[in-house]
C-alpha cells in the first residue's frame, strides 16, 4: 500500500502551507498490523485482508480495539461508518488516550439515535486527568450511509478536530494561563461500540431496541502522519515540526465558523450555569 498517496495529501486542504511540511511519515494502516482487538472478541472482526474492521454490539456485550503503536503528535485519523437505522442507546467511542490517572485524552463519541434522527458528535479534551471540556455537534450529513473521515491534528501548540477535513474544534495550548495541555504523554487510538442507553440518547429517555441487534459500525483507512512513538522517541525532524501551531487558512477559518454556528449544540465555554464561579480559563477570549 502506498504510504503517501495524493488523497492523503489532500487532507491538508484547509491548512496553511506551513503545515505541508508535516507530511514526514505517512502510514496508511492495516488493521492486522496496526491494531489489536481489546475486548468483545467475536464481535470485532478484521476483514478484507486488514482493510476493514467492524465492531458489533449485541445483548451480550459490545466490542473494542486499540492501536498497537503509541503516538505523540501528528495528524491521525480514520474513516468510520456508524451504526445505521435505529441506533438509539448505542455509543461509538473513538479516542486518543494515554494511560494512568493523569492521562491525556482527545475524544470523539458518536451518540446513536432513532432512525432518521440525528446522531450527536460529542467531543472532549482531557489533560492530566481532567476533562469537562465538552463540545457537541450535529453532523451535516448522514454518518451511517457512507464512511466519513474523523481526524485530529495534534502538536505542542494546538489540537484541531476535523470531520471530512473540515475543522470543527480547536483547542489551543494555554499553559500560559495555567491550563495543562497534552504534550508529553504518547497516546494510543481506541474505539469501542457499547450500550449506554441510560444516558446517551435524549439523556437516557430512548432505550436500545435489542430486536435490531447486532448493531455494527465499520472502520477503514487509518492514516497516521508523524510521530509513532517507537523506541521511545519521535524522529527529530518530526518532533521539530510538531513544535509549530497548525494554522487554519481563511477557508479553514470560515468552515470552522460555519460548523460552530450551524451545528454546535453544546459548548462548555458558554455554559454559565455549570460554572457559576466563572468559566474555565481557556474559555476567555
Ligand atoms: C436524537 O434526536 C432528537 C430529536 O431530533 C434530538 O433532540 C437529539 O439531540 C438527538 N440525539 C441524541 C443523541 O439524543
Question: Does 109 participate in catalysis according to the annotation?
Answer: yes
The rounded distance, in Å, linking the Cα atoms of 189 and 74 is 12
User: How does residue 2 score in pLDDT terms, banded at 50, 70 and 90?
Assistant: very low
Q: Is the pLDDT of residue 17 over 70?
A: no
Any residues with Cβ below 6 Å from ligand 1, and which? 111, 113, 117-118, 120, 200-202
DSSP letters for the chain: --SS-HHHHGGGTTB-HHHHTT-S-EEE--HHHHEEEEE-GGGEEEEGGGTEEEEEE-SS--EEEEESS-B-SEEEEEEEEPPPS--TTEEEEEEEE--STT--EEEEEEE--STTSPPEEEEEEEBTTB----EEE--SS-TTTS-EEEEEEE-SSEEEEEETTEEEEEEE--GGGT-----SS-BEEEEEEEE-TTTSGGGGTSPP-GGGPPEEEEEEEEEEES-B-BTTB--HHHHHHTTSPP-B-HHHHHHHHHHHHHTEEEEGGG-TTT-TT---GGG--
Q: What's the 120 CA to ligand 1 centre distance in angstroms? A: 7
Question: Does 105 participate in catalysis according to the annotation?
Answer: yes
* Candidate list 36, 105, 134, 282, residue with the active-site label: 105
- Residue-level pLDDT at 232: 54
- Residue-level pLDDT at 201: 94
Closest CA to 84 of 6, 145, 14: 145
- Residue-level pLDDT at 229: 67
> Mind listing the pLDDT tens digit for each residue in 178-204?
999 999 999 999 999 999 999 999 999
The rounded distance, in Å, linking the Cα atoms of 188 and 104 is 10
How open is the CA angle 176-179-184, to the nearest 5 degrees? 95
Q: How far is CA 123 from the centre of its chain?
A: 8
- Whether residue 113 contacts residue 88, with contact meaning beta carbons closer than 8 Å, is answered with yes
Query: For the chain, what percent of residues have pLDDT higher than 70?
Result: 86
Q: Is the pLDDT of residue 11 over 90?
A: no
The rounded distance, in Å, linking the Cα atoms of 67 and 226 is 15
User: How does residue 152 score in pLDDT terms, banded at 50, 70 and 90?
Assistant: very high
Mean pLDDT of 104-124: 98
Place of cell 432518521: 116
Which residue puts its alpha carbon closest to atom 7 of ligand 1? 202
All domains in the chain, ordered by first residue = 9-274 (2.60.120.200)
266 - beta bridge partners? 136
Range name among 5-19, 36-50, 108-122 with the lowest pLDDT average? 5-19
Compute and round to an integer the Cα radius of gyration of the chain.
Answer: 18
Q: What's the 208 CA to ligand 1 centre distance in angstroms? A: 14
The rounded distance, in Å, linking the Cα atoms of 98 and 86 is 33
- Whether residue 171 contacts residue 179, with contact meaning beta carbons closer than 8 Å, is answered with no
> Mind listing the pLDDT tens digit for each residue in 53-87?
999 999 999 999 999 989 889 899 999 999 999 99
Kindly report whether the global pTM for this prediction surpasses the value 0.85.
yes
The rounded distance, in Å, linking the Cα atoms of 220 and 28 is 10
- Residue-level pLDDT at 227: 67
Residue 106 cell numbers, joined: 482527545
Q: What's the 111 CA to ligand 1 centre distance in angstroms? A: 9
Instruction: Tell me the best of 114, 115, 118, 208 to mutate to test the pocket of ligand 1, counting ligand atoms within 8 Å of each CB and taking the most.
Output: 118
Amino acid at each position: 500500500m502506498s504510504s503517501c498517496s495524493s488523497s492523503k495529501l489532500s487532507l491538508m486542504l484547509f491548512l496553511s502551507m506551513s503545515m505541508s511540511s508535516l507530511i514526514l511519515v505517512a502510514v496508511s494502516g492495516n488493521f492486522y498490523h496496526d491494531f489489536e482487538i481489546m475486548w468483545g472478541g467475536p464481535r470485532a472482526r478484521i476483514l478484507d485482508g486488514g482493510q476493514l474492521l467492524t465492531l458489533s454490539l449485541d445483548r451480550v456485550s459490545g466490542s473494542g480495539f486499540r492501536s498497537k503503536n503509541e503516538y505523540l503528535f501528528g495528524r491521525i485519523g480514520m474513516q468510520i461508518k456508524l451504526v445505521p437505522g435505529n441506533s438509539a442507546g448505542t455509543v461509538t467511542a473513538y479516542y486518543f488516550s494515554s494511560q494512568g490517572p493523569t492521562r491525556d485524552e482527545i475524544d470523539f463519541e458518536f451518540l446513536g439515535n432513532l432512525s432518521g434522527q440525528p446522531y450527536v458528535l460529542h467531543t472532549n479534551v482531557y489533560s492530566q486527568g481532567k476533562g469537562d471540556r465538552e463540545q457537541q455537534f450535529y453532523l451535516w450529513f448522514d454518518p451511517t450511509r457512507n464512511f466519513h473521515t474523523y481526524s485530529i491534528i495534534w502538536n505542542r501548540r494546538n489540537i484541531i478536530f476535523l470531520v471530512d477535513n473540515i475543522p470543527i474544534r480547536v483547542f489551543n495550548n494555554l499553559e500560559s494561563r495555567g491550563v495543562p495541555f497534552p504534550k508529553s504523554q504518547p497516546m494510543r487510538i481506541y474505539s469501542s461500540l457499547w450500550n449506554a442507553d441510560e444516558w446517551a440518547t435524549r439523556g437516557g429517555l430512548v432505550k436500545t431496541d435489542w430486536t435490531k441487534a447486532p448493531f455494527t459500525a465499520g472502520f477503514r483507512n487509518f492514516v497516521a502522519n508523524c510521530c509513532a512513538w517507537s523506541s521511545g522517541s519521535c524522529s527529530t525532524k518530526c518532533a521539530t515540526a510538531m513544535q509549530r501551531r497548525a494554522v487554519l487558512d481563511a477557508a479553514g477559518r470560515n468552515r470552522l465558523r460555519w460548523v460552530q454556528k450551524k451545528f454546535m449544540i453544546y459548548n462548555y465555554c458558554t455554559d454559565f450555569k455549570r460554572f457559576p464561579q466563572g468559566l474555565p480559563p481557556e474559555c476567555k477570549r
